[in-house]
Structure 1
Amino acid sequence: MKRNSFLNIIALTLPIQLLFASPNTGTTLVNITKSQRADGGKLVGKIVEAPNNAGVSFATVALLMTKDSSLANGVVADENGVFTIANVTPGNYILRVTNMGYQTFYRPNVSVATEANLLDLGTLTMLPEAKKLNEVIVRGEKSMIVDDIDKKIVNIGKDMLATSNNVSDLLEKVPAVSLDENGNPQVRGKGNVVVLIDGKPSNLYGSDLPTILQSFPANLIERIDVMTTPSAKYEGEGASGVIDIITKKTKIRGTNGGARLSIGTKNNNSASGNISYKAGKFGLNAFGSGQTRAMTWERTLNRDNLASDMPTHLQQTGTGGNKGKGLFGRVGVNYDINDKNSLEAGVNYSRDNNRNNSNILNETSLQTGLVTETFRRLNNSKGNGDNLNFNLDYRLKFAEKDHQLNFNSSYSLGGSDGESYFNQESEIDSLLRNQQNLRNNNRHSLFLNTDYTWPITPKSTLEVGLRSRTSANDNVNAFYNLDRETNAYVFDNNISNVFGYKDATYTGFMTFSQKTDLWGIRAGLRVTDYNQDINQISLNRDFSVHFLTLVPSFALTRKLGESSQIKLNYSRRVQRPEADWLNPYTDVSDPRNVKTGNPNLRPEFTHKAEMGYSNYEANGGWGPSLFMDYSNNAITQIRTVNETGISLTRYDNVGREFSYGFETDFSQKFGDVLKINGSGRVFRSEVVSALANIDNRTWSYSGNLNAFITLPADFRASAYVNYEGPRAIAQGTRDGVFIANMGIRKDLLEKKATISFNVQDIFLSRNYKSQLNTSSYAQSSLWHQTNRLVNVTFQYRFGKISASGDDA
């Protein structure tokens, strides 16, 4: 804002400011106009805060008559604490300075002589109150995208928060990130993404990632780091990349907090509240939220079985729905022992209840059209899960400049239980089924992490770290069949499973960074020793898996200007088989499409390279790049069909997977009216395996766009569209998916509150289609979400935030 315009606003609002600044509740508003003042001297000065002498912005300066303390004149200081009081009548006065959060400052015996034209009062120092309440410092919003040497930092601004209730909603708005039909994150349209929360594995917060992301409230998030070619500091897993979700750690004085309530269609509701307190060296913060959610879907599958001497056709059609309730809470304390030592501890608790149902009609026919069998399979399931996580973090700054040691620890324990009832209806007696599936899972894990940062020179830094992660999981999956004669459920050992799992990962890494005025380099190496112990107790079969992996990384940047640079990145990634992928248990929940694990899986190694340019400024910028991913033992799902038409799906190392293309992200402000950001890419994906007789090569394109528009009457609107184009998968192709959301918001109560209206999946276009073609079968499938989400959200904030934050 220009200085003259700002002073005009001050002149208009001065009477109100002076009224609220008065310490006497009975003070009558005095509206001082130029005609009421006699020409006189001028007072000037600057107001600063103890002890750092920073200017106190917009303090109210009042000149009081000595005899009765009545108001004679006054102004509001500018953003730097500088003030000028003009036209002061000669006489003796008391100067009073007030500002919310500071002790009132008085200077008596301010004498303005008749002959004086200018009186300089110098620097006036105000002392902060013990508590600063009911004030928010307004700071400029950060640039949305910041390009670091080995990652893109996406700052979560007010507009993104206003249209997002949870982390899943936020991730859809992040350039290059999308969600699949199950809610799992993808980078550049591909899965196998490692998700961290504050640098720690997300599974410390629970066992199901989509549920974690839906339960984690959006207003806890400060930024999201996206790494397509991560440095050796980060997890070596994740063939597609790493997403690190950074939560807010705002330094405050006094108390601040807020509450949020969202009411949506189909019982999609949520409520949350947070409060933070800081007094001296001690800080406390707490957060709690609850949600209900519901989603409905429809599904079709058509498959021609070509393996049999008499080819058949399977058609599955049906509908279903998922409902859930979730609770999330966290309490954290921090203590600054001294200026070099600090300690932080916290507890997170989450609980989730879900209810699922499906109704699928199965029909098998011959090529002539004659239907040979028909059955309808009904499924009703429910499950409960909870997770408790404790963390303790310690930071030590050494006497040497910028030397720092960080120690982080997390212990997590949780469990879940569930039951499913399958009722299979048919006119054919042999197809009649009544089954019960009981599940129980208990898990615990421990994460230890220590990092040491050593600035070798002012422009070079060495960082070394050690990681240890151990976890154990006991899983009981029991199937029972109804005996029609006794009307009792009988345990079926053939399709049941008791599964024990342990893993231990020990990692060491080292990165070296060198920065000059023009060049930047970061090179690193990560060594990981990975151990898995798998015990299929029900079959009395156990086996162990051990991997030792090296993950190098390299990044080089060259500055071209104040905000522009080019960079070259390389990283080797590893995707280790997960427990469910290895477990040879066969899941028969869908008897025509069964699944099993593969204990012979080997790790997938991916080489990732990227060369790009970026230029991000306060008003916007862009970051085009060329990228390449290559793996010669890619892990993917393979489906085979036997002569009876039953398909078996399991993970396998299929062969070569190669993708390359062009990508850019961008952001731009158009005056004070429009702000956009997004990303787009054009790429070729290839999946080739001579052993599995696969050769799929496809050009594709995808992208997303966010637009935020300032409207009259202090309204703001937003729109989001995302399209993931068709791409090659192991045995066929997957069609493109289009999603569109929109919202409108308005700030209320002097911007302490916000009300917003949002619509997600406007066109009900979440259609996930795929086609598979092999020598033994041809299949097409569709999964479609059938309910859009419409919600109204109200958010209220209170208190003093003295650190910068986009949600202020």
Structure 2
Amino acid sequence: MFFYAKSFKSFLFVFFLPVVLFAQTGQIKAILVDSETSKPISSASVALLDAYSNVFVKGGQSVSQGFLLLSDIKPGKYNVRITYVGYETQTIDSIEVLGSKSKDLGRIALKSTGNMLNEVVIEGRAPAMQIGIDRKTFNVGESLVSAGGTATDVLANVPTLQVDQDGSVSLRGSSSVKILIDGRESALAGNDVTSLLQSLPANSIEKVEVITNPSSKYDAEGQTGIINIVLKKNIRTGLNGSINTSAGSYDNYMAGITLNYRDRKFNYFGSYNFNKRNMLGSGKTDNRFFGDSTRNYSESESSRKGNSHTVKAGFDYNMTDRTSLSFSGNLSIQDRCKSVWFLFY
């Protein structure tokens, strides 16, 4: 009977020994602070390394109040490496963990490198083209044409749009297209939308929307599609402005100045643009008739010159965050043709 009890105790010891050894895991805890201000440091990265092989065992981060806790650590010797942006890396060597005991490292002061990161600025570039459900949006800022040129030049570089020598715009081969400015009817151009596009600077355009499937809110005209030219809106406060000049071959020139003053409620703006254009064209016609030697051959060259002066001034009154009252006036002089228009919305 005594032999049986002794054997049974030995069996229990051998059976539960791995469980007891496995349960004997310790902890390492500490508090991370700044060496100069003594303020706690949270979100610092901590790595637990084997003291002999320097192999990574586990990692963690300090939480609020700089508290650090690494648990479930098997008995042995370890190194603790602490890293944080803007602080020197600190390593504590030969930390011995015994059984289920907790190893308290106390307050660990991290030294600043002197190169603290104040802010991070992430800059991105909008894609040149965005495809939506009913429209395609082309960001003019990604095109080199916006550095110098007119709205006509911008539209000529938009896929699915064609611009002829006279500046007329067509969509997918059809001229039955409506042109909007900031989503509104192009009444400011009167009946001569082409002249408006040729005098509108390309650097004032933010994006061009080609709506190939217009909704019912638009009129029946322009069934082929709608071109919406979205102009840039200056949101910077204070006084600012820009000057632009450009020159091209065949005696083409453009120059302009834009000024803007903005405070919390009012935004005053004004601009002047001069455009000298020389549009050259040429063509050949060769007609031959079957059955005889009749042939009609002709060549033609054309040059269409024009100067335009465009002055715009106005103001915006921001009544609320979502409601604004705008008034603007435009004066356009194109070769001996003068037109004046005002917008109120």
Alignment TM class, shorter chain as reference: 0.5 to 0.7
Determine the structure 2 residue equivalent to 1:336.
Answer: 318
Distance of aligned partners of 1:201 and 1:316 in 2 relative to their CA distance in 1, 3 Å threshold: farther
Determine the structure 1 residue equivalent to 2:273.
Answer: 289
Determine the structure 1 residue equivalent to 2:329.
Answer: 347
Residue 338 (structure 2) aligned to one of 370, 381, 386: 386
Alignment partner of 2:197: what SS? Answer: helix
Determine the structure 1 residue equivalent to 2:309.
Answer: 327
Distance of aligned partners of 1:145 and 1:118 in 2 relative to their CA distance in 1, 3 Å threshold: same
Whether contact under 8 Å (1:331, 1:347) holds in the other structure is yes
CA deviations on 1:537-559 (whole Å, 9 max, x unpaired) are xxxxxxxxxxxxxxxxxxxxxxx
Whether contact under 8 Å (2:145, 2:153) holds in the other structure is no
Pairing 1:232–2:216 present:
yes
Distance 1:205 1:162 in 2: 21
Determine the structure 2 residue equivalent to 1:647.
Answer: none
Pairing 1:208–2:208 present:
no
Residue pairs, 1:693-772, within 5 angstroms = none
Q: 1:392 is matched by which residue type in structure 2?
A: F
CA deviations on 1:660-712 (whole Å, 9 max, x unpaired) are xxxxxxxxxxxxxxxxxxxxxxxxxxxxxxxxxxxxxxxxxxxxxxxxxxxxx
Residue pairs, 1:1-150, within 5 angstroms = 41=36, 84=86, 117=109, 139-150=123-134
Distance 1:139 1:237 in 2: 41
Given the two structures, how large is their TM-score scaled by the length of structure 2? 0.60
Residue pairs, 1:259-298, within 5 angstroms = 259-298=243-282
Determine the structure 2 residue equivalent to 1:247.
Answer: 231
Determine the structure 2 residue equivalent to 1:154.
Answer: 138
Distance of aligned partners of 1:234 and 1:43 in 2 relative to their CA distance in 1, 3 Å threshold: farther
Deviation at residue 242 of structure 1 after TM alignment: 0.9
Distance 1:386 1:83 in 2: 63
Deviation at residue 145 of structure 1 after TM alignment: 2.4
Whether contact under 8 Å (1:42, 1:85) holds in the other structure is no
Deviation at residue 194 of structure 1 after TM alignment: 1.3
More strand as a share of residues: 1
Alignment partner of 1:157: what SS? Answer: helix
Whether contact under 8 Å (1:256, 1:277) holds in the other structure is yes
Alignment partner of 1:238: what SS? Answer: coil
User: After alignment, is 335-344 or 167-176 more displaced?
Assistant: 335-344
Distance of aligned partners of 1:233 and 1:169 in 2 relative to their CA distance in 1, 3 Å threshold: same
Deviation at residue 302 of structure 1 after TM alignment: 6.1
Residue 204 (structure 2) aligned to one of 204, 211, 220: 220
CA deviations on 1:281-337 (whole Å, 9 max, x unpaired) are 1111222110111123334456799xxxxxx98765443321111111212311112
Distance of aligned partners of 1:291 and 1:304 in 2 relative to their CA distance in 1, 3 Å threshold: same
Distance 2:39 2:220 in 1: 61
Residue pairs, 1:174-573, within 5 angstroms = 174-301=158-285, 317-339=299-321, 341-353=323-335, 384-393=336-345
Q: 1:214 is matched by which residue type in structure 2?
A: Q
Whether contact under 8 Å (1:42, 1:117) holds in the other structure is no
Q: 2:343 is matched by which residue type in structure 1?
A: N
Deviation at residue 254 of structure 1 after TM alignment: 1.8
Distance 2:110 2:261 in 1: 44
Alignment partner of 1:212: what SS? Answer: helix
Size of the aligned set, in residue pairs, is 242
Whether contact under 8 Å (1:160, 1:170) holds in the other structure is no
Whether contact under 8 Å (2:256, 2:271) holds in the other structure is yes
Distance of aligned partners of 1:43 and 1:388 in 2 relative to their CA distance in 1, 3 Å threshold: farther
Deviation at residue 240 of structure 1 after TM alignment: 2.1
Q: 2:171 is matched by which residue type in structure 1?
A: V
Distance 2:136 2:312 in 1: 28
Distance 2:144 2:246 in 1: 15
Distance of aligned partners of 1:167 and 1:117 in 2 relative to their CA distance in 1, 3 Å threshold: same
Distance of aligned partners of 1:272 and 1:43 in 2 relative to their CA distance in 1, 3 Å threshold: farther
Whether contact under 8 Å (2:255, 2:274) holds in the other structure is yes
Distance of aligned partners of 1:185 and 1:42 in 2 relative to their CA distance in 1, 3 Å threshold: farther
Alignment partner of 2:250: what SS? Answer: helix
- Larger Cα-atom Rg: 2
Distance 1:86 1:331 in 2: 56
Distance 1:235 1:214 in 2: 25
Given the two structures, how large is their TM-score scaled by the length of structure 1? 0.27
Gaps of 5+ in 1: 1-38, 46-81, 88-114, 121-136, 306-311, 354-383, 394-808
Q: 2:193 is matched by which residue type in structure 1?
A: L
Distance 1:262 1:340 in 2: 37
Whether contact under 8 Å (2:315, 2:326) holds in the other structure is yes
Distance of aligned partners of 1:321 and 1:279 in 2 relative to their CA distance in 1, 3 Å threshold: same
Whether contact under 8 Å (1:328, 1:350) holds in the other structure is yes
CA deviations on 1:216-266 (whole Å, 9 max, x unpaired) are 101111111101121112232124211111111232222332111112222
CA deviations on 1:344-401 (whole Å, 9 max, x unpaired) are 1111221111xxxxxxxxxxxxxxxxxxxxxxxxxxxxxx2122121112xxxxxxxx
Distance 1:85 1:161 in 2: 47
Determine what percentage of the aligned residue pairs are the same residue.
29
Distance 1:138 1:162 in 2: 24
Whether contact under 8 Å (1:351, 1:386) holds in the other structure is yes
Deviation at residue 162 of structure 1 after TM alignment: 4.6
Whether contact under 8 Å (1:164, 1:170) holds in the other structure is no
Whether contact under 8 Å (1:337, 1:343) holds in the other structure is yes
Whether contact under 8 Å (1:349, 1:389) holds in the other structure is yes
Whether contact under 8 Å (1:40, 1:117) holds in the other structure is yes
Q: 1:117 is matched by which residue type in structure 2?
A: A
Alignment partner of 2:143: what SS? Answer: helix
Alignment partner of 1:266: what SS? Answer: coil
Determine the structure 1 residue equivalent to 2:98.
Answer: none
Distance of aligned partners of 1:339 and 1:167 in 2 relative to their CA distance in 1, 3 Å threshold: closer
Determine the structure 2 residue equivalent to 1:170.
Answer: 154
RMSD across aligned C-alpha pairs, in angstroms?
Answer: 3.6
Whether contact under 8 Å (2:261, 2:268) holds in the other structure is yes
Alignment partner of 1:273: what SS? Answer: strand
Distance 2:239 2:85 in 1: 29
